[in-house]
Structure 1
Amino acid sequence: MIGKRRAYEELLVVEARTGDRSAIEALVRLRGPRLLVHATRLLGDRDQAQDAVQEAWVEILRGLPGLRAAAAFPAWSTQIVTRRCVRIIKGLQKGRALAAELTPLIETEQPEPDDEAARLRWAIDQLPAEQAATIALFYLEDMRLTEVAIALDIPQGTVKSRLSKARGALRALLEGEGDDHEIH
């Protein structure tokens, strides 16, 4: 299924390069939701994420003719969204730091033990944004280490480190130890 989806996406990229409007629309429908989820993980705010993704699509479509390999599109487009999110975060950093100091921690309720997928999504949501984004791209988006590094605009060693930390934190959360340990 993933192979077929990637092949279809590559075909859309090739057709979109020629200006094929229907291919562009299909590409936005196919990749857009994934980019929005990624931006939401990074920003923690769906409205800001929608703005970031919308602005990123302008850049993506402008840069599409220069993209050398259609297979690179998922990582390349995610990298553009990541950079947009970084700009937003930098602009809001001071305000967020103050808000974080003033806002009490809100505990979320863990889902029922028999719903593994819901428990995993809950656990990923508990991770720091950079770990959640890294683990989601690697496991949920099925990107290779090099693709995750490109998508997040970080060195491959940092990807490995974040994956290791995220796996440990997920293990602790899913085994019930997350209640006693702060996750960083």
Structure 2
Amino acid sequence: MRRDVQRIFQESQVLAAQAGDRTAFGHLAACWQPRLLAHARRLTDTSDMARDVLQEAWVDIVRGLPRLRDPVAFPAWSYRIVTRKAAQAVSRIQRTRRTAHDLASDPGQGRVEWPEAEARSDLARVSRAIAALPPAQRAAMGLHYMDGFSVAEIAVALGIPAGTVKTRLMHARRKIRAALEPDREGDSDDTQ
């Protein structure tokens, strides 16, 4: 029930922001900034890049908000903008690395160092397993389990078919399960 009231309030904020209410837009931005930043972080792997991506995304969100036809679509629409901006940023970096031949000289990129004390906890094991997922699977997992998006909303946010979302979630869950239960590697369920 609380979630429904919150969504209705956010939809009213979208409508007010579309009508030019700066206070409503400020509330909307304050509400969605942490969520969109977390999504950008999942897609880019660095906090600095995530902040840059989100800044670029907010420019597009502000420009496109008056053309958004359905305020209910704001969450998926804004996540889609962040996804697109993150893909562009990652693509720029990859081009730069290829050009400079830095890819081969940076083998540790994407690895996360974990403090020894934290490595002993279950939370650290889960965090490592999630961090080890490919960015596409990590994004789908985050949107579904952390942000509470449905498969259809994730499909819109990531710009992919719903079936692809389901496949990414399935593979991500299998990889996390395998990382948390290494003795199950030989099970026939993991080989399919």
Q: Normalised by the size of structure 1, how large is the TM-score?
A: 0.85
For residues 37 and 147 of structure 2, the distance between their equivalents in structure 1, rounded to whole angstroms, comes to 13
Alignment of 1:113-124 (within 5 A): 113=122, 115=123, 119-124=125-130
Q: Shift in Å at residue 83 of structure 1?
A: 0.7
Which one is further off, 169-178 or 153-162? 169-178
CA RMSD in angstroms, aligned pairs only: 2.3
Residue 170 of structure 1, CA deviation: 1.2
Query: What is the aligned partner in structure 2 of residue 112 from structure 1?
Result: 121
Structure 2: segments with no counterpart, 5+ residues: 186-192
Aligned pair in 2 of structure 1 residues 177, 100: CA closer, same or farther (>3 Å)?
A: farther
Pair 143,71 (structure 1): closer, same or farther in 2 beyond 3 Å: same
* Selected match of 1:169 from 139, 158, 175: 175
Partner SS, residue 163 of structure 1: helix
Structure 1 unaligned residues grouped into runs of 5+: 180-184
Residue equivalent to 1:34: 35
Distance of 2:183 and 2:104 partners within structure 1: 25
- Aligned counterpart, 2:188: none
The residue that corresponds to 2:46 in the other structure is 45
**Cross-structure match for 1:102:** 105
- State the one-letter code of the partner of 1:103: D
Corresponding residue for 2:93?
92
Q: Where do 1:6-155 residues align within 5 Å?
A: 6-96=7-97, 98-105=101-108, 106=111, 108-109=113-114, 110-113=119-122, 115=123, 119-155=125-161
Work out whether residues 124 and 170 of structure 1, in 8 Å CA contact, stay in contact via their aligned partners in 2. yes
Q: What are the Cα deviations for residues 115-145 of structure 1, in whole angstroms up to 9, with x where unaligned?
A: 5xx5544432221111100111012111111
Could you say which residue in structure 1 is the equivalent of 2:189?
none
Query: Which one-letter code corresponds to 1:130 in the other structure?
Result: A
Displacement of 1:175 in angstroms is 2.3
Q: Which has the larger radius of gyration?
A: 2
C-alpha displacement of 1:5: 2.8
Q: Which amino acid aligns with 1:154?
A: I
Does structure 2 retain, via aligned residues, the 8 Å contact 1:52–1:85?
yes
Q: Secondary structure at the match of 1:101?
A: coil
Q: Is the Cα–Cα contact under 8 Å of residues 82 and 152 in structure 1 kept in the other structure? A: yes
Does structure 1 conserve the Cα–Cα contact (< 8 Å) formed by 2:112 and 2:131? no
TM-score by length of 2: 0.82
Counterpart CA distance in 1 for 2:6 and 2:183 is 37
The offset of 1:48, in angstroms, is 1.4
